[in-house]
């Protein structure tokens, strides 16, 4: 099981994501890191484990209210050995730094723009976004496997930061229907028991923030996995 820490950026600081209610997100101040500075948060994550991949969501870019392009560029330069998965909403293909992998979320693409994903030549992470059971964004993206890369996030926004546990039914269904793809769980993961349950259905990667910040998942737990 590979754990990928998550950082949500809003208005220049790291915030605590809760159930997709982005206007209500507050700066983090947690057991793991009292500072909302992104560099301090990354160092705190690396104090838990030597993570080689970190996910960053630029919430301003996703909601079309500015962006953190300069800050993210500084982060990439400061941690060249870490691969950063960057979700900044709607993205056009361009040449990215070597430790930058774009995350393209379905919520930011419509049926009129979805074919633009072909330009990435499958060098991206696809995020299939849900609110409750509702698929967000271009409906064709949820069924047209020709647009899918090898690695796909199943993002259940209403479970993010909710301590409700992952959406096991949805993840199990994707793993059974598309066994040749690699699915990543996102939203609601609370502890090691959730990770072990995910492994049982065929999910071997997970995006996690709250459980790392609270200490519910720590170094010993990750080593045991």
pLDDT tens track for 102-148: 999 999 999 899 999 999 999 999 999 998 778 999 998 998 889 99
> What pLDDT sits at residue 30?
92
Supply 165's token pair.
């546990």
What does the pLDDT average to over 219-225?
88
> What pLDDT sits at residue 163?
72
Under CATH, domain 2-224 is a member of which superfamily?
Answer: Aldolase class I (3.20.20.70)
> What pLDDT sits at residue 178?
95
pLDDT tens track for 3-30: 999 999 999 999 987 765 566 678 999 9
pLDDT tens track for 66-99: 999 999 999 999 999 999 999 999 998 988 889 9
Does residue 112 contact residue 88 with C-beta atoms inside 8 Å? no
What's the whole-model pTM score?
Answer: 0.93
Q: Mean pLDDT across the chain, nearest whole number?
A: 92
Supply 115's token pair.
């074919």
- 206 φ, ψ (degrees, to nearest 5): -150, 140
- 22 φ, ψ (degrees, to nearest 5): -65, -30
Characterize the bridge pairing of strands 151-156 and 53-58.
unpaired
> What pLDDT sits at residue 103?
97
Nearest in space to 9 (alpha carbons), one of 183, 209, 216: 209
Q: Any idea where the domains of the chain sit in the sequence?
A: 2-224
Strands (E), the chain: 2-10, 13-16, 26-27, 53-58, 83-87, 100-105, 125-131, 134-135, 151-156, 182-186, 205-208
User: Which residues, in sequence order, are bridge partners of residue 126?
Assistant: 104, 152
């Amino acid at each position: 099981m590979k754990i990928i820490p998550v950082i949500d950026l809003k208005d220049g600081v790291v915030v605590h994501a809760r159930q997709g209610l982005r206007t209500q997100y507050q700066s983090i101040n947690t057991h793991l890191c009292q500072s909302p500075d992104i560099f301090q948060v990354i160092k705190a994550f690396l104090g838990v484990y030597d993570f080689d991949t970190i996910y960053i969501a630029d919430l301003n870019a996703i909601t079309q209210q500015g962006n953190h392009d300069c800050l993210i560029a500084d982060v990439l330069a400061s941690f060249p050995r870490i691969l950063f998965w960057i979700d900044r909403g709607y993205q056009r293909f361009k040449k990215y730094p070597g430790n930058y992998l774009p995350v393209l979320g379905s919520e930011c693409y419509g049926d009129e723009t979805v074919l633009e994903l072909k330009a990435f030549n499958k060098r991206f992470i696809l995020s299939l976004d849900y609110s409750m059971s509702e698929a967000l964004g271009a409906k064709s993206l949820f069924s047209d496997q020709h647009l899918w890369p090898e690695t796909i996030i199943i993002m259940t926004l209403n479970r993010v930061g909710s301590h409700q546990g992952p959406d096991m039914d949805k993840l199990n269904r994707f793993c059974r229907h598309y066994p040749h793809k690699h699915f990543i769980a996102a939203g609601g993961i609370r502890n090691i028991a959730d990770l072990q349950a995910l492994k049982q259905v065929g999910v071997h990667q997970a995006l996690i923030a709250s459980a790392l910040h609270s200490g519910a998942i720590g170094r010993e737990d990750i080593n045991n996995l």
